[in-house]
Chains A and B, each alone.
Chain A
Amino acid sequence: MDYLQIFLLFNVFAMGVLAAVAVRHAYAHFRPKEPESPKLIANVPQVQLPPMVRGRLVKEAEQHFLQQLDQSVTDLQKDLRATSVQMNKQLEQLGTAVAISEKGRYASMLEDLRKRTQIALSAAQAELDQHQVELKAQMAQAVVAEQQLLIKQIDAKLADAVASFLTEALQHNVDLGSQSEYLVDLLNQHKEDFKREVTGGEAAATK
């Protein structure tokens, strides 16, 4: 026999037990038995008392009962008062404990928030400082570049002004006689260039 067959047999046995129990419970539910009447206590013989005695006994029993009742009420009042005092004390202690714990929690939350805010502020401040340094450096560079540009422009304008002045001042009464030797020297310096140009042009023309 393998384990599966053992398990199946066990399941069948359990189902049989459960079915039997269910049937018994259903029978008890739908056909309940009448409760047995309580057995009477042995009869007590009755004694005849005079009315005065009976009345006095009843009165004494009533007084005794009232005393007991008053005593119970007093005790109950005392217990209730002690219980309420105790409960108030407990509530006060509980309330104090809760307030203290909540206050502690609130304080720790505030501290945590303060620390995080401090960290964020420090980071922002550091970033601002760095940005300020970068901006200052950029501005210094821009100022230097602007200065250089202005100087260059001034130099260019100055050069143009001087060149224009020289041109305007020297263009009148030019003496070519004094320049004749200079002109011939100039031609001698560039003789080969001329020859190359002219002979090259003639060769191209003959082609």
Chain B
Amino acid sequence: MVKPQLPSSVSSPQDLAALTLEVHGYLRWFAHASVKKRVTGAAISQPPELSPGATELIRDWAAKQQLTQAGLDELVKALEDFKQNAPSLTVTLAAPVPGDLKEKLVTWFRQNVAPDILVTFRFNATLLGGMVVNYGSRIFDWSFRRQILAARHKFPEVLRNV
């Protein structure tokens, strides 16, 4: 089965769920429009408004396969498969992640770890900086707070040498 390339704006399982709904909606419109055109020969109505991510996904999919109902069904199935089997991790930063940084990080994960990986972003101001990555039961804590706490025994030595 051909796997679609998830756009970097679609990072988390919630984004994927929203994208799947959008593609479902597009599929329904496509089915209706196809039947209407076959039966009445009337012009196809305007497609529903899609997000840039959904648009990019469908465009990429159409480039690989023909944009037919079967193709769209396969796309939906592939998205469902992503939802069930794609690896998922959580990245916690010290502030709400801006869009460009989010895309940068998601692109990095999909290029270096797994192409279908889903990333959920959270923020916690007490981290002060750096990030905390949770994957399953593993936690990778590279936050400034942890580094400060790990090196706190050096404060008295530094103060003595001042």
Contacts and interface: CB of A to CB of B under 8 A. Distances in A.
Interface of B, secondary structure class, is mixed
Interface size class, chain B: 35 or more
B114 A171 contact: no
B155 A179 contact: no
Contact of A162 (B117, B129, B136, B155): B155
Nearest to A168: B126
B131 A183 contact: yes
Contacts of A170: 128-129, 144
B135 to A, nearest CB: 5
A155 B152 CA distance: 9
Interface string A162-190: 11001100111011110110111011101
A155 B160 CA distance: 11
B126 A171 contact: yes
A195 interface: yes
A174 B159 contact: no
B128 A174 contact: yes
Given A171-B128, A174-B94, A155 B113 contact: no
Interface of A: 154-155, 158-160, 162-163, 166-167, 170-172, 174-177, 179-180, 182-184, 186-188, 190-191, 193-195, 197-199, 201-202, 205
27 contacts: A159-B153, A162-B155, A163-B148, A167-B126, A170-B128, A170-B129, A171-B128, A174-B95, A176-B94, A176-B98, A176-B101, A177-B98, A179-B94, A182-B129, A182-B130, A183-B105, A183-B130, A184-B104, A184-B105, A187-B105, A188-B112, A191-B112, A197-B135, A198-B87, A198-B117, A199-B114, A201-B136
Interface of B: 85, 87, 93-95, 97-98, 101, 104-105, 108-109, 112-114, 117, 125-126, 128-131, 133, 135-136, 138, 140, 142, 144-145, 148-149, 152-153, 155-156, 159
